[in-house]
Every structure is written in C-alpha cells, then in structure tokens.
Structure 1
C-alpha cells in the first residue's frame, strides 16, 4: 500500500511538472515578457466588413520599434485585410510573437492586389506566430482568374502568407483556408519551423500548394494536415537541409520536390528528408519533378523519402524529368537537372494505378544512385503493381514490390 501511495505521489509530481513545463513553453512562445500591442488598440474593428489593414500596420510598426521580447495580440473576431507587408529589421526586438486568435479575411477585390502578396513577413529575426488563428484567402471568386496551371508565363495570384528573408522563425497552430494561390511560401529563410498546421482548399482549386519552400536552409515542417488543390508540400530550388515529417496529405498532388529546372537563376538542392507521413487519394505520392528543356544545369542530391503510408494514391513513387504541364512546351531537350543519391525507404500501401513506381530520368543526365528499400505497394484492385524505369538503374534492398523495371514509360 505504501509503495502504491508513493507511485501516486510520483505520478502527481510528474503531471504537475509537465503542466508547468507546457505552460512555460506557451509563455515563451507568446513572448510574455516585454511590451504588448493589440490590434484593437490601434483601431481594428474585427467585424469582418471594415478594412482593418491600417490598424494592423500601425500595430506592427509600434511593435517593431519597441525592444526586447514583444507581443502582438490579435483577439478573436474577423478582420478584413488588404495586402500587407510586415517588414523588418526590428533592431532592438529580440523576439516578436504574434498571438493570433481570430480570423483574417483577404479582400475579394483583386484590384487591391498589385503583386502576389496578401500577408508578407520580410526580413525579421525571431518571429513567433501562435494562438491557433485562421487566415482565409477567400479564394473561390479568384480561382477562375488563375492561368498559371495553363501557361508557363502568367501572373500569380496572392499567396496567403509569405515569409521572405526571415531568420529563426517559429509558426505553430496556424490554419489556412481557401487561398487565392499558395497557402504559405517560405523563401530565402534560415531556420524556419512550422508545426501543427491545417491547410485546406477544394481539390479542384488551382495552384493552392500547401507550403512552398525555396532558397532556404534549415526548414522543418511537422504535424501538418493538408488537403488542397495542388502539392501539399512543394520544395523548390536552392534549398538545403529541409525536413518534412508527420504530414497527412490529401486530397492534393502529393509531397513534391520541384518543379526544378524552369528558370535560369535556379540553384542546387541538397539534403531533403520527407518522412513519417500519410498520403491519401492524391494525384501523386512522393515525387521529384524537373522540367524538360531546362535552361541551366543544376544538382539535386541527397534526398530521402522514408516511412510513408499510401492509400489509394495515383503514382505513389514518381521521378518525372520530362515535366511540362502545358500543351506547348517548345523544345523536347532533356532536363539538365542532375539527380543523385535518391532514397525511397519503407513506403507501403495501395496504388490507384497499375504502375505504382515510375522512375523517368533525364536522357541527358541519367539518375545516379537511386535506392528502393522495403517498398510494399499493391494495385488497389488487389493485383500486383508494376514499376516503370527510363535512364536509371535502381538498386533494390530488403523486401521490394514491385521490384523489376517491367512496365513501359507512359507516352506524354
């Protein structure tokens, strides 16, 4: 009895300690120390009808001009906002935390947007966003104005939330619905972490990528639920050391590296890991896509996809180095993106198509060191799936099904 009582006391102590730790974590995330600025103080109406853009900008400017750990509060309510860029640097601020508990509504008047920006954070160090709030791009009325899924040269619609040139950023618990274009974009950032995201849009909404990452180092995205009309995650050029984990993807176009090789200014991609995720009823599973006729030679290397569950996924594993989604792509010259050290490990589930694995590499630069280990993919009707290969000699280990390059590459 005494031993049981001691265990109860110990359990109570652990519980209290954990709760205190969790609460302390919230305080740190919310930047409790230092000055606090509320958008309501600066005139935000939060009625969903009045344009609160000016109030938000005044709040940001006051917070950025402050010092130490600073907090911006966005209380519950609906805030109608036009395009806004929250710029740094904030030279005396060591941490700037936005506690967002409301719903931000994008203007439906496309005439207000002169670029692809709705909400943009630029050049800030130590930004934290928490609170479980929502950004609503109100994109339904704009999707039929989008031509980027039809032609190579187009005017992109506004991204709901862009992070550009940021350092040491943490985003937690953000919900994004119905963006006009991407939900989120992380561009030229260092040490960016986002967790507990919920990103949703209809399956037929064009170019509504969940999170697009480009030109960044040290990016981690985890515990995200993404169902949208394009890639759940898209990792573009110039990225190094990116970790994507614990993502639930579907509907959408899957978890993608690329597209790569579209522009002359593109840089190499190195050190990408996508793992511990579930993909359901998507057009693709895990994918690398590079443009044919790419203008410059670049490298994409050390890429790992591991511990992925597929359920009714078309093209569960795909390398596509003849990518061009348009009717007229000009020259058919091979892609100049050199793929090497690509690892697919412990990927299992069901394919909605007979060809579960497609490895279509560049004729000019065949893939090097492509490894498939412990792959178990079945065609959803119960029959064996097949594997299609071109310009690659994949290596197999563990139990692999399908394991031979027997299927022809589908004609474009």
Structure 2
C-alpha cells in the first residue's frame, strides 16, 4: 500500500515538474498508449493545458501506440511563444467514419503560430477500410473522406521527420498557411488508393517542402488555388499521379497561383509527371503565372510534361465552354528521363485564353518503346532552347 502511494506521488511530482517546465506529456493526462483505448480526450486535455501556458511549450507524445481521433489542436494560444509537438509514437486513426462529422479531418492544427511538429513518429490513417466508400472520382456529389493531417491558418510552421501511412483521403493539407517548412516527410499509400495526395496546398503563402519521399495513389503534391511563393525541392515521387498544379477553375472566385519553383525532384513510375490542369468549364477567371520546373528526372513516367486545360474526371463532361484560367510565363528547364507513352510533351491550352510564354529549355525525354517521342500542342505560345526531345510541335 505504501509502495503504491509512493508511486502515485512520484507520478504527481513528475507531472507537476513537467508542467512547470512547459512540457505536457499525454500519458500524464490519461493516455493509455495501448492501441485499443481511445486516447482522444487525453490528447485534447494535454493540448488545452499546453495552449494555456505562458512561453515556449512542448506537447510530448512518447513511444507507444495511440488510438486517436478526430482531434483538433486549435488556437489561438495567446501567451505561448512557440509550440513543439514531439510525436515519437505510433498514432492510429479511428476507422469509424461516423465519428467524423461533415468537414472534419483526423488531426488538425489550426490558428497557431510558431508550431513545430517533429519527433520521428507515424500517423496511420488506416484508410484501407474507408477507400471503398470514396466515390469522388466518379461523381461530384460525394462524401469527402477525412484527410490525415491538416494545418489551418497557421503561421511559421515547421514539420519534419514525420511519417504518414494510408490516409483515408489526403495525407497532409495546408489551408491558408503562411511560412511553412516541411522536410524529411514520408507519405505512403498503395498505388490504387483513391485521392491519397501526399501534400495538398491551398490559399497559402511562403511554403517550402523538401527532401521528402511520397508514394501514393494520387498526386504526390497538388497545388490548388490561391497560392504564392511555393518551393518544392528534393522530392522522390512514385508511384502516384506526379506533381500537379491544379485542378484549377472548378469554382467561382478562385485566387491566382503564382511564383512556384519545383526543382531537383525524381519521379518514377507515375501516371503523370509535371502537370498543370484546369477544368474545361470553369465558372470564373483566374490565372497561373511565373512557374518554373527545373532539374527534374522522370523515370518511366506517362505524360511527362502536360498542360491540360480540358480536365474533367467524370463520365459526363459534355460542356463545350473553354477554361477561363489563363496560363503564362511557365518554364520547363532541364527535364530528362523516359516516357511510357509516345507523347512525352502535351501542351493543350484553352481556346478561351491560350497559354502565353511557355518556355522549354533542355528537355530530353525518350520513349521506353524505342520509337521517337512526340509533342502535341494546342492554343499555346511556346518557345524552345537547348536540347529538344521530342522535337517542338510548333
């Protein structure tokens, strides 16, 4: 009895010491870390205490297996100067979709500044049981499944040394973020998993993602509307659908995309390589400008370079209205590798707003089938310099 009391007192003293130092351990707030018990309440209690602290804080998730979700780590944390979430454990998402109300994702970090998510831990979305319920590739009227990790209106955010497995929908989402740095990220899902984009970026400014490995069933990185000053570098991608700007122009009043640099990446076995896609019947005007794709290796990639302004994934795409998204000042420089289709370069732009100033410099793409690769162009003002394989089409 005395020993039990002593152990309890030691735990209490440890919890007080950690709290006074600004470290908040989820185990001290009731997390069981057995992979069976729902630890959501413990995580939220630890976050609430950390968010109420003054100064720099650490939310510690030690090694262990945690069943969690959905949870929202939201601010503002008014007196906190910085928050480090040290995720060292293995976190599993609930597979019960009824727990995720409409619009909810699994793990959300929102309205906080100077957040760092690190620790070498794993977020397992356990998406395999949910993928059969994804109808979004077939119809517009579908229930969107939860994404795994979502950053909403955060500023000065760092994410590094984190692994995301088998997301139900997107792995990592940035929405309305400013100054985000992501590195040494691993995102993995099977090649046939639907809509499991590695990163999806939307309405964000100053995003840097580098030195990461993404293997998914959809885009390794998708860059949506209203983004500016985005740098993607050192990405190993494949399988998946490649690196995509878009799709854009699906909704009214979308913001412009400008100032993108995608460089020093390797794509292998992907369904597309470097892609810009806009909806063929876009209801409003927006633009894509000042994009550079530089020093990219493409290994056995279908559609290595593609601009598609007649994008529509559904069976009924009968609209004859051209895309109103303008595309201009695009550079493809030092792009090399192999294509699994004869058409290695596709520049098919809108008759409503033809593409302007698309420059291809030192492009060398061979067809794995042995015959020469070809290029196809429509409604585009293109210039060429240096090596050109395939030969220019205009």
- Interval of TM-score (by shorter of Structure 1 and Structure 2): over 0.9
Match of 2:49 in 1: 62
Partner of 1:214: 202
1:336 matched to 2:324: yes
Q: Report the alpha carbon displacement of residue 265 of structure 1 after superposing the two structures with TM.
A: 3.1
Paired with 1:188 and 1:315, the residues of 2 have a C-alpha distance of 31
Q: Map residues 125-136 of structure 1 onto 2, 5 A cutoff.
A: 125-136=113-124
- Distance in 1 (CA, whole Å) between partners of 2:140 and 2:308 is 18
**Aligned-CA RMSD value:** 1.2
Q: Which residue of 1 aligns with 2:248?
A: 260
Deviation at 1:266, TM superposition (A): 1.0
**1:105 counterpart (92, 105, 117):** 92
Deviation at 1:153, TM superposition (A): 2.8
**Equivalent in 131, 143, 155 of residue 131 of structure 2:** 143
Unaligned segments of structure 1, at least 5 residues? 1-31, 407-412
Moved over 4 A (4+): none
Trace 1:286-325 onto structure 2 (pairs within 5 A): 286-325=274-313
Partner Cα separation in structure 2 for residue 337 and residue 318 of structure 1: 16
Match of 2:26 among 32, 36, 39: 39
Q: CA deviation at 1:33?
A: 11
Are 2:145 and 1:160 equivalent residues in the alignment?
A: no
2:374 corresponds to 1:398:
no
CA distance, structure 2, for counterparts of residue 332 and residue 39 of structure 1:
56
User: Counterpart of 1:173 in 2: which secondary structure?
Assistant: strand
Determine helix, strand or coil for the equivalent of 1:237.
Answer: coil
Aligned residue in 2 for 1:374: 362
Q: Does 1:172 align with 2:160?
A: yes
Question: How many correspondences in the alignment?
Answer: 375
Moved more, 365-374 or 77-86: 77-86
Which deviates the most, 162-171 or 325-334?
325-334
Structure 2 distance, partners of 1:59, 1:203, is 36
Shift of 1:35: 0.7
Specify the SS of the correspondent of 2:358.
Answer: strand
Question: What is the deviation of 1:224?
Answer: 0.9
By how many angstroms is 1:329 displaced? 2.5
Distance (whole Å) between structure 2 residues aligned to residue 76 and residue 192 of structure 1: 26
Please name the residue that 1:51 is paired with.
Answer: 38
Normalised to the residue count of structure 2, the TM-score between the two structures is: 0.94
Alpha-carbon distance in structure 2 between the residues aligned to 1:258 and 1:34: 45
Say yes or no: does 1:79 pair with 2:66.
yes
Deviation at 1:405, TM superposition (A): 1.1
Rounded to whole Å, the distance in 2 between the matches of 1:83 and 1:137 is: 11
CA displacement, residues 53-107 of structure 1 (integer Å, 9 cap, x when unaligned): 0000000000000011101110011100121111111111111001111011000
- Determine if the alignment matches structure 1 residue 203 to structure 2 residue 191: yes
Of 212, 235, 239, which residue of structure 2 is paired with 1:251?
239
- In 2, Cα distance between the equivalents of 1:175 and 1:158? 17
**Residue 214 of structure 2 aligns with which residue?**
226
Distance 1:127 1:265 in 2: 30
- In 2: Cα distance, 1:33 partner to 1:196 partner: 32
Q: TM-score, normalised by structure 1?
A: 0.90
Distance in 2, matches of 1:152 and 1:107, equals 26
Query: What CA distance in whole angstroms lies between the structure 2 residues aligned with 1:131 and 1:48?
Result: 19
